[in-house]
Structure 1
Amino acid sequence: MFSFLNNYKKFKVTDKEEKKIPENLYTKCESCLTLVYHEDLNNHDYICPKCNFHFRLNAMQRLDFTLDPGTFREFNKLMKTKNILKFPKYSEKINKVMKETDIREAVVTGYGEINGKRCVVAVMDSHFFMGSMGTVVGEKISQAVERSIKNKLPLIIFTASGGARMQEGIFSLMQMAKVSSTLKKHHDQGLLYVSVLTHPTTGGVTASFAMLGDIILAEPGALIGFAGPRVIKQTIRQELPEGFQSSEFLQEHGFVDAVVPRKKMKEMLHNILVIHEVKP
């Protein structure tokens, strides 16, 4: 008669054997919950091969997908947030996230080229405090707009944010008006601003510069809105339309000009830059 207890040691996996199993081989898709092999995800431009969900990219990955190799020149790289309101443990959390992401704030700005066309680009990174907008994020984006004006270059901003950063209170909310007013100067100069909305773009970022683009593009399936759908549903106590606050829903209702797959985004941006090129 087979005894499980007598044969337990024979079948037990030791700690040493467990360590031989590679970690982080798979990532669960947020949309269809399928486990996707990391190598397949990397070879598929971080897009779920089953449901086409576009996984979040960090700032450097986004720049690699968008700009010509070797053309990116970052500015304001060393700008760092200060704990103005003395919020408990905020400085420690900032330092921790800086080490984890290898960037100093939730946006990376610089010059670059897209198929030979020069531009100023700002890329928000949701891996840094969920891409929340604090004073340094607002300042870096404002200075990117100003450099675009000074050099008469088109501006492209990739948004990915949970909204204003609560640890900075009113100073964070002030960035909405600050960036928006700088973009008004940019608009008055007749320069092009392309806003690219990625998953997720919410809160004060949506309520300000994300929706001020001359042309507004979005990646497929991106969550775009002010308050999240769960909060809205709880507030109005009504069932929301299917796909509410998705990029496709916003395109259908006129808030987004085009939903562009990641594989075609660079080509789309290049075509836009060519059409709106300012002749000397």
Structure 2
Amino acid sequence: MTSWQALAQEAARWCDCGRTADLWWRDDDAADRTAALDDLLALQHETSVPVALAVVPARATPGLAQCLSALPQVDVLQHGYAHVNHAPPAEKKVELGPYRPAMAVLGELGAGWLALERLLGQRALPVLVPPWNRIAPALVPTLPEIGFRGLSAFGARRRTRLRGLIEVNTHVDLIDWKGSRGFVGAEAALGNLVDALAAARLASMEPVGLLSHHLAMDATAWDFLRSMWEKVWTLPGLRLRSARELFADAGSATGEEGG
């Protein structure tokens, strides 16, 4: 059985149990208009798949805002503040880590949100995407206090739900950061997607996110992504959602929970 057949089979399992899997697309590290960003936006337009751009506030330019102004299926999330590593040399890279005073980190995040809101208006959602998908656990409960209603990292959600904050993660990374730093390949990407969908069906029931980095994508990666979205549109058990929809849906649900 091919990986494409495995994807179709997993979608059929969702249909068989009377449910539909939610899929969403996040792309990280946007700051300015580049040829790579143009490639991403062209693919988004061609496939009509909503995309959430994680934008670095301290680097975001008017050129970025201009090229997004007429694209209703593109949402903007906040990608930290400056995407600068503050970890000691022996530790994993992190901007929002425990190595600086919490008030300094939160102050940067607040300034970053104001900058994004001024630049992009209602296109920007108060959803935080930590650079390198890492954030100090002690900072998370304070995010609603500075205006964030969502958090998006990578992997299965492990944090307890908090009132006023929903975590909707990505699960399939198209880039092999620990190896070639290029496209992971179709087999690996599809295998990871099928595994994530199965885990959602059997346990979490959470949306499954695909993560791209337009600045690291090559032609093979773009071709795969195009083929995958075209395939997903044909599978009844899968549904493509925007970040705006997912965080609005989840936000209303978490409002009923304590913690």
TM-score, normalisation: structure 2: 0.36
More helix by share: 2
TM-score scaled by structure 1?
Answer: 0.34
Bigger radius of gyration among the two: 1
